[in-house]
Amino acid sequence: MGGRVKKGRFLRKYIGLISIAFILALSAVGIGYGAWNDGLQTEVTVKTGTFDPEVEITKVECYRGGNWEIKDSDNWYVTSSEDNINFKAKWAKSSKPYKIYFKVKNAGKIPIKYKVDEVGYCERIDVSLTESKPHNEWKALNQGESESDNYIRVDTDGVFWGRGTFNVQLKIKQWNL
């Protein structure tokens, strides 16, 4: 029986020392990791998609003498702001309706939707948006898709007989299908 008591005392005595040594070793690992991590710099870049709609004017027609005639589209151009695409005329004759045909392409990585919104800035000419396609509805495009079957019709009016400028807004935004 005497051997068992000695063996039990020995284990109790050294288990305490082994536990303390293990705790000190684990603390040293934590301190070393903290010192290594203090100088570590990480940089993360996350890309979720790109918003890149492309709009181009394909044809401009003017109503004259009972017929729609193709006009030089060099007088018409497209500009963009944060969430609008603007169709602008460098000049337009008053008392003439115009049809501006345009193509919208989703060159980005996320779906988009667009609609013709309103007539914006007008100078020396009164303009009303009488017809559009799409008209008062959002049209959706997935990545890589394009839609060519779009147009806006504007009627110009006023006492001014000559040339003036105006723009029509096309709203475009991200669309989660």
Residues 102 and 21 in one domain: no
Residues 30 and 71 in one domain: no
Residues 36 and 57 in one domain: no
Residues 157 and 138 in one domain: yes
Residues 72 and 144 in one domain: yes
Cβ–Cβ under 8 Å, residues 71 and 114: no
pTM for the model stands at: 0.64
Structural domain harbouring 124: 53-174
Kindly give the confidence (pLDDT) of every residue in the chain, 177 residues in length, as a single tens digit, with 9 standing for 90 and above.
445 556 667 677 788 888 888 999 999 998 888 887 777 788 888 777 888 888 888 888 887 777 888 876 667 777 776 666 777 776 666 567 888 888 989 998 889 998 887 776 666 666 777 778 887 788 899 989 999 888 888 777 654 445 566 677 888 888 875
Residues 113 and 28 in one domain: no
DSSP 158-175: SS--SEEEEEEEEEEEE-
Residues 91 and 157 in one domain: yes
Residues 59 and 37 in one domain: no
Residues 66 and 86 in one domain: yes
pLDDT at 173: 86
pLDDT at 92: 63
Distance CA 98, CA 69 (A): 9
Cβ–Cβ under 8 Å, residues 91 and 167: no
Residues 74 and 143 in one domain: yes
Residues 118 and 140 in one domain: yes
Query: Both tokens of residue 120?
Result: 């914006």
